[in-house]
Structure 1
Amino acid sequence: MTPETLLSLLNATPGWAAQAAAADLDDTATLQILSEAAKVAGTTLAPMAARADETGCRVEQGRVRTPEGYGDAFRQMGADGWIASDLGSDLGGMDMPLALHAAASLPMEGAALPFMMLLGSTRAAAHCLAATAPDLAAEWCPKLASGEWAATICISEPDAGSDVGRIRTKAMPAGDGWTVSGTKCWISFGDHDMAERIGHLCLARTGAPEDGTRGLSLFLVADTLDDGTRNGIFVERIEEKLGLHGSPTCVLRFETAEASLIGTPGRGLPALFNMIELMRLQVGVQGAGVAATCATLARDYADDRRQGGRPDAAPVAIASHPDVRRQLWQMEARALIATALVVETAVTLGDAHAGNTEAAALSAFLLPLAKTFGGELGQANADAAIQVLGGAGYTREWPAERHFRDVRITTVYEGTTGMQAQDVLFRRLLKDGPAIRAALLARLDGGSVFPTLLARLDTLVERLSGATPAAQALAADAALRAAWEVVAAGLAERLRAALGQEDALDLWLFGAAARMGVAEASVDWALAVSDR
C-alpha cells in the first residue's frame, strides 16, 4: 500500500482532519512521515526480518541473544522517533496523533512483525507510566522513547493465562518498596541484548488468592538496579514457536526482585489496561500491515510471472487470468478494509483520550474488532499470497510462508478471539447497543449495504437479549462476526467513494449479505442447542 493511498485513507476518516490540524500537520508533512516509514520498512526492516527468521534467538549464559542488527536497529528507531512518536514531547515523544502513528507503523509491521513487537510493548509501557505513575514516567519514558531502555508486559503464568484472577506471583512490602516472586510466561522480548535496561510491567498479587483480580497490583520491575547490578530476574527458557523466530518468547522467574508499585494497590488491572489497549491496537496494525504487504507481494509476483495463454504466443502474466485477478481483488479489499479499520479505531481512540464520551463508547466497541479482524485479514492474505505464488510461495525463497507463520499468532495473543467476542456481545452490544448504533450511523452511513446489515444486526442483538446466558455465550462469536460485517461494509462503502478500487471493494460488498447470513445461522444454532 503506497503512502499516497494511506494519506487518502486517513483523509477519508471522520475526525482525522481535526486531529491533524491540532498537531499542525498538513498533507505534505503527513505524506513525508508516511513515505519515510515505508522507506525504513523496505530498506532496513524487511532484509533484517528475513535474516532474523533464519537465525532466531538463543540463550547464552542465562541471557537472550537476538539476531544480528537488532540492537542497532532498535536504537536507531528510537533516535529517529519511531518508537513512541505519539507520546508527549515532555516525555520524549513527538506529540504525533495516534492515528498517524498507527498508519506509519503499518509498513513496518508488515516488514518485520517479530522485531516490531519490542517497539510496541516499549511504547505501550511508556504510555502506561505516563498515565499512572508520573514520577516513574519522568525517569523512564524518555529512555524508552529513545530506545536506550525497553519494556515488557508480564501477565500470564503457567496456570493463569487469560484467567488473570488466578495469578499467583506474589508481591511483598520490603522497606520503602516491594519485592516480586513468581514465574511469568509468554513474555515477548522478556530478555534481550537490544537495550541497556529492561523494565517489566508485572501484575502480581498483593491481596489474597480469593480476591481474584481485585487482589492484583501493577509493578515496574527493572532487570537491573540503579547501581547497575542484576535484579532477581532469571530466564528459564525461550519458546520454540511456529513463527516469530525473531521475537524471543520467554519464561521469566522472579526471585524477590526489587519492584516499584505503579498506581494503587489492588488496582493493577485497570492501571495495566492503559498498556493493553495500545497493544491490542498494535495487533490490529500487525495484521493490517501483513495484509497490505502480502497483497503487494502477490500483485508484484502476478504481474511478473508469465504462464499460460495461446500456445503460439508468448506466455502472459498470471495477473491476467480471471481466477488470479479474483484472488488479487480479494487481497486488495482485505488490505484496504483492515487498514481502514485500524485507522478508524485509532482516530476514535484519539478522540476518546481527549475526553469525548461518545468516542470512548465507540472505541471500546471497535478495539476488539480491530484486534480480531486485523489479525484474521492478515492471516487470510498471507494464505492467499502463498496460493497466488503457487509452489514458489511455499518455499523460503519468498517471504509469503514467513508472513503466514508470523501472523498466525495475532488472533491468539493479547486476548483470544473468544475473549474479544464476549467483550463485544456482553459489554458492548447488549449493554451499550443504542449508543454504538448511533455512533456507527454518524460515521459510516453512506451506502446501501451498511444500513441493511445494521438492521439485521439490530434483530440479532434483540434475539440474544432475551436468551439465556449459556445461549449468549455460545452465540458470542457469531455476534462478533455480525458486528464486523456491519463495520466492514461501512468502511468498504466509504473507501469505494473515496478511493475507487471498485473491483476489489465490490467483491467484498457482494459477499457481505451472505457472510452475515452465516453469522445469523450460527446464532440460530446457539439458541437451539443451548436448551438441550
Structure 2
Amino acid sequence: MSWAEENAAMLDALARTPGWSALEGRPDDDTLTAILDEAARLAAAVIWPQDAQGDRIGARLADGRVTLPPGSRDAFAALADGGWLALELPEALGGAGLPLAVFAAVNPAFERASPALMMAAGSTRAAARLLAEHGDLETRDDWVPALAAGERTATICISEPGAGSDVGRIRTRAVRTPDGWRIGGEKIWISFGDHDLTERIGHCVLARSTDAPGTRGLSLFLVERGPGVTCTRIEEKMGLHASPTCALLFEDAPARLIGTEGRGLPQLFTMIRQMRLTVGTQGLGVALRCLAHSRAYAAERCQGGPPDAPPVPIATHPDIRRQLDGLAARIDLFRLALLETAVLADLPGKDDARLCALTLPLVKTFGAELASDAAGTAMMVLGGAGYTREHPVEQALRDARVFAIYEGTTGMQAQDFLLRQALSAGGLKVFLSRARAECAASPERLALLDVFAAFAEDLRAASRPAQLAAADPAMRAGWVAVQAWLSMRLDDPRPFLATAPQRLALHMAEAWAAMSFEERS
C-alpha cells in the first residue's frame, strides 16, 4: 500500500467512525488531507531513509553518554520543527490543539518509516500530556512547550531490577529535604534514557515517598538529566537498535513532585494510556510497511507458471494472494479499531470513556500482534529473501516483537480488559449496547455478540483465580466481538465473517479449559 493509498484509507476510515463528526476542533476534510499528505511526505523523504542505517549502527554508550546513529538528530528535528510532536496538545502550551484522533491517523506514517526513532517521540509527547494534566503551573509552563517544540525530550521510568509489572515492589526512594525532593535508586528498560537528540531530558520517575505498602506509597517525580543521574548501560536488544534502552542510576538526584503525593500510579496512567495508543499506531505502521514491501516484491518476483512459458509474477499465485489479501483485510479492520478508540478518548461522555478503556488494551495487544504477524507473512511471501538484510522485512520482525511486551505485556492487557474494564468498570455494558445498535440489521453479528455476552456472564461468576487463568483467551474472544461490531463499517466484511464464529468458539474453549485446569489445581 503506497503512502497516498494509506492516507485515502485513513480518511475513509475516519469518515466511517460515527464519533468523528461530533468532535470539537476537528479539522475539515481539506485540512486533514493536507496534514496526512505532509506527514507522509516527511516520513518517506526524511524519517525512512535513516532507519536501516540506524538499525545497522545502533546506539552507542561511551563515558556515560549515549550517541545515536547519524541522521537521527536531523530526523527528530524535522518532526519537531513540523509540530508533529504536539498535534493534540493545547495551543496555549505549544500544541496544535487537534483531537487525539488526528494523532492516531497521522502517526502510523511515521511509525512505518522508523519505529526506533519514534520511541523518542512517543515518550516525549506522553510526558507532555502528563505534565499538562498533572504538573504544577511552574513545571507545566516550563516543560510542556519545550517538549512540544522538541527542545527537550522525556522518558517514563517505572521498572526496576526487582519490580517490573509488579509496581508495588518498587524500591526507588524519594526523600523530602529542606532543599526539595531527592531520588535514589535504579531504573531499567528506559527507552531513550540517554541520547544526543536534545541536551535536556526529563525523567518521569515512579518512586516510593512513604512507607505505605504496595502502590499507595508511590509518587511521581520529574528528574532532569544531570547531577545524580547516570546511564550505566544500554541493552543489547533483538531489535530497535537505534532506540537506546538504558539502565539509569539515581543518586540523590534533585526531583520535582508531579501532582499529588501518593497518587503516582493513577497519575502515571495519563502517560501510559497515551503510550498504549501509540503502540497501536506502531503496529499499524509496521504492518503497512510489510504489506507494501511484500506486495511490491510479489509483483516483480517471477516464479512458476507453465514450463513452456516465461515465469509469472508470484502475485498471481493463489497462495500469495491469500496471504496478502488476508493481511490487508486485518489491517483494514484494525485501522477502524484504532480510530474508534482515539475518537472515544476525545469524546466527553462517561460511557465514551468506559468504552475507550475497554478497547484500549485490545488496540495495544492486537496492534502489536498485527505487526509481528505482518512481518511473518511478508517473510513467507519473500521466501528466503525475506530472511536477509537486503529487504526490510527481517528488521520489521525484530523491531515489532517488543511491541507486545512494553507498556504492559499481553497478559497484563488481558487482565485489564477482563477484570477491570469488562467485568468491573461497566465497559462491557456500553460496548454491547452500542454494538447491538449498530449491528441491528445483521443477525449473524448479533448472534456473535449474544454468545460473547453470555460467555462474559459465566466469567463473572467464576473465581478470581479462574478469571486470571482465562484472561488471555477471554480477551481474544472479546476482540472477535469488537471486530464483529466494527466490521459493519467495512465494504467487504466477508474475510472476517467467514472465520469469526470458529475463532470465537476456539477462544471460549481455551478459556474454559484454563478455568477448568485452575479449579482442579
CA distance in 2, matches of 1:240, 1:449: 49
> For the Cα contact (< 8 Å) 1:49–1:111, is it kept in 2?
yes
Matched, 1:14 2:18: yes
Question: In 2, distance between residues paired with 1:269 and 1:247?
Answer: 25
What does residue 471 of structure 1 align with?
466
Aligned residue in 2 for 1:233: 229
In structure 2, distance between residues paired with 1:356 and 1:129: 23
| Secondary structure in structure 1 of the residue aligned to 2:189 | strand
Match of 1:362 among 355, 363, 367: 355
In the TM superposition, what is the alpha-carbon distance from 1:176 to its structure 2 partner? Answer: 4.2
Asked if 1 retains the 8 angstrom alpha-carbon contact of 2:111 and 2:282, the reply is yes
Indicate the residue corresponding to 1:399 in structure 2. Answer: 392
Q: CA deviation at 1:517?
A: 1.2
Deviation at 1:449, TM superposition (A): 4.0
**After superposition, where does 1:54-203 map in structure 2 within 5 Å?**
54-133=56-135, 134-203=137-206
**Does 2:265 match 1:269?**
yes
DSSP-derived class of the 1:183 partner: strand
1:449/1:490 contact within 8 Å kept: no
Q: TM-score, normalised by structure 1?
A: 0.94
The answer on whether the counterparts of 2:438 and 2:488 sit within 8 Å (CA) in structure 1 is no
Residue pairs, 1:130-529, within 5 angstroms = 130-133=132-135, 134-208=137-211, 211-223=213-225, 230-351=226-347, 355-431=348-424, 432=426, 433-442=428-437, 447-496=442-491, 502=492, 505-529=493-517
CA distance in 1, matches of 2:447, 2:182: 56
Q: How many residues align?
A: 513
Displacement of 1:295 in angstroms is 1.3
Q: TM-score, normalised by structure 2?
A: 0.96
* Contact 1:235/1:253 (<8 A) preserved: yes
Note the residue ranges of structure 1 that are not aligned, 5 or more in a row: 224-229, 497-501
> Is the partner of 1:247 in helix, strand or coil?
coil
Separation in 2 of the partners of 1:350 and 1:56? 37
Which residue does 1:227 correspond to in 2?
none
Match of 2:36 in 1: 34
Letter in 1 for 2:16: A
Q: Secondary structure at the match of 2:147?
A: helix
Q: For 1:323-371, what per-residue CA distance to the aligned partner results, in whole angstroms no more than 9, with x for missing partners?
A: 00000111101211222211111011111xxx31010100000100000
CA distance, structure 2, for counterparts of residue 144 and residue 445 of structure 1: 46
User: Residue 524 of structure 1: CA displacement?
Assistant: 2.1
Contact 1:107 1:293 (8 Å CA) reproduced: no
Shift of 1:300: 1.5
CA separation of 1:261/1:205 partners in 2, compared to 1, >3 Å: closer, same or farther? same
Describe the SS at the equivalent of 1:397: coil
Distance in 2 between the 1:435 and 1:23 partners? 25
Stretches of structure 2 that go unaligned for 5 or more consecutive residues are: none
The 3 A distance-change label for structure 1 pair 52 and 171 is same
Kindly report structure 1 stretches of 4+ aligned residues shifted beyond 4 Å: 442-446
Show CA shifts across 1:254-294 (max 9, x none).
00000000111101111111101100100111111111221
Structure 1 CA distance for aligned equivalents of residues 8 and 326 of structure 2: 21
Q: Secondary structure at the match of 1:82?
A: coil
Rounded Cα–Cα distance in structure 2 between residues aligned with 1:408 and 1:446: 39
Distance 1:528 1:62 in 2: 52
- Check conservation: 2:26, 2:99, Cα contact below 8 A: no
CA contact (8 A) 2:112 2:282 kept: yes
Q: Secondary structure of 2:102's match? A: helix
Larger CA deviation: 359-368 vs 131-140: 131-140
Equivalent residue letter for 2:9:
T
CA distance in 2, matches of 1:177, 1:252: 21
Residue pair 1:319, 1:325 contacting (<8 A) in 2 also: yes
Stretch deviating more after TM superposition (241-250 or 23-32): 23-32
1:130 CA drift (Å) = 0.4
Q: Identity over the aligned pairs, expressed in percent?
A: 48
Counterpart Cα distance in 1 of 2:127 and 2:370: 27
For the 8 Å contact 1:446–1:494, the answer to whether it is kept is no
Match of 1:499 in 2: none
Partner of 2:46: 44
Paired AA for residue 335 in structure 1:
I
Partner AA of 1:315 in structure 2 = P
Tell me the distance in 2 between the aligned counterparts of 1:231 and 1:448.
64
Q: 1:443 to 1:206 in 2, by over 3 A?
A: farther
Deviations 1:93-121 (A, max 9, x none): 10121111111111111220011011010
Aligned AA for 1:415? G
For structure 1, which segment, 506-515 or 145-154, has the greater mean C-alpha deviation from structure 2 after superposition? 506-515
CA distance in structure 2 between the aligned counterparts of 1:325 and 1:510, rounded to whole angstroms: 17
- 1:180 to 1:28, Cα distance in 2 relative to 1, 3 A: same
* Cα shift at 1:464: 1.3
Give the distance between the partners of 2:515 and 2:111, measured in 1 at CA. Answer: 40
In 2, the alpha carbon distance for the partners of 1:381 and 1:491 equals: 21
Q: State the Cα deviation string for residues 30-56 of structure 1 (Å, max 9, x = none).
A: 111111111122111121111100000
User: What code does the residue aligned with 1:207 have?
Assistant: T
TM-fit CA distance, 1:311: 1.9
Over the aligned positions, Cα root-mean-square deviation in angstroms equals 1.3
